[in-house]
Amino acid sequence: MCGRIAQFGPFREIVDLLTGWPSPYPEAEEAPPRYNLPPTAQARLLNVEGDDLVAQRVRWGWRPHWATDKPAPTNARAEKVAHGPFFRTIWPHRALCPIDGWFEWVNEGGPKKQPYFIRRQDGAPSFCASIGQYPGGGHEPSEHDGFVIITADSQGGMVDIHDRRPVVFAPDLAQEWLDPATPKERAEEMILQQGELSEVFEWFPVSKDVGNVRNDRPNLIEPINWRITP
């Protein structure tokens, strides 16, 4: 999964999709829509503190304090994240990164790779399984705060776009993922076996302008032809 996402849907409506959450949550912060959000930027995130579902903005990217010689990754592999030492301290701290879609770049033989935008066919947000270290929870905002999106192998036609994809949950599974009562073993099973299948998504080529992070406008997610591939 490449390092660009889009978050532009009303956050309040996104949070309301988690209808099974039993407790009130703080008012979701509305932020300017982002159509080309890169790593290290502040992304909208949902996590749990005590009995509350918390909506806040957190830096996309995280590394442990002892790994200062390594770049902060934005993604973590589902096959390794539960057991490897790099993410051990944040594996218990589950979150959701709700996105409207993400970008991948494909080599189609031209001088530059062709960007594609991938989104759910039904237009709903994608609840991406995430883990991280967040403001709150007993500590003040820190330079070490951040999160990563968990990824798995792509399936079906999506393999032609990229060999990895974010683990996206349907709303009922998203709620189970967030629930602190969900055992770690069950959480691992979810990211390995219960992410949304490629048939749920569609993808299409978009303007190469998305390659410049300074470009952040709605037409970046518009298809450059009318062939949308499910």
Residues labelled as active-site residues: 2, 104
**Which tokens hold the place of 228?**
């949308």
Dihedral, 78, 83, 86, 89 alpha carbons, nearest 10: 100
Virtual CA dihedral for 8, 10, 12, 17, nearest 10 degrees?
-80
Q: Are 223 and 205 in contact (CB under 8 A)?
A: yes
- Tokens 């539960």 map to which residue? 82
Within its chain, how far is the Cα of 81 from the centroid? 15
What's the CA gap between 134 and 49, in Å, rounded? 10
Residues whose CB falls within 8 Å of the CB of residue 82, separated by 6 or more in sequence, listed in order: 91, 184, 187, 188, 191
Question: What's the burial of 112, exposed, middle or buried (CB within 10 Å: 0-12/13-18/19+)?
Answer: exposed
